[in-house]
Amino acid sequence: MSDLDLWLIILGGGLLTYLTRIGGHLLIARIGALPPRLEAALNAVPAAVITTIVAPVVVSGTWAERLSILACGLLCLWLPGIVVVLLGTAFVAVARSQGF
């Protein structure tokens, strides 16, 4: 993959992200309030995304990754999300560098 390909992917991803976000704002501005069922569906998205990321690692990951997920699950009760992500990433990186 060339540098140009990488930059095109980054710019394309950024453009698509912007378009979907601005589209959502324009849609909400046009219809006013969200219907209750749509609001409930949108509230379920974060849990679905986390499950999609975590489930494959729990099923087929290494023990270091599984322990990291367990630790992050506990730490998220007390620490901000970004801190938990950084700690979990650091734990897995160190465990992998040590051969686990």
DSSP 3-state of 77: coil
Which comes out higher in pLDDT, residue 27 or 55? 55
pTM: 0.57
- The helix, strand and coil proportions of the chain, stated in percent and rounded to the nearest 5, come to 85, 0, 15
- pLDDT surpasses 90 at 19: yes
Tokens matching residue 11: 């710019």
- pLDDT surpasses 90 at 3: no
Q: What is the pLDDT of residue 9?
A: 94
Q: Chain-centre distance of CA 22, in angstroms?
A: 20
- CA–CA separation, 63 and 24 (whole Å): 40
Which comes out higher in pLDDT, residue 76 or 34? 76
- pLDDT surpasses 90 at 10: yes
- pLDDT surpasses 90 at 38: no
Which comes out higher in pLDDT, residue 42 or 88? 88
50-83 residue pLDDT tens = 889 889 988 998 888 899 999 999 999 999 989 9
Give the number of other CB atoms < 10 A from CB of residue 34.
13
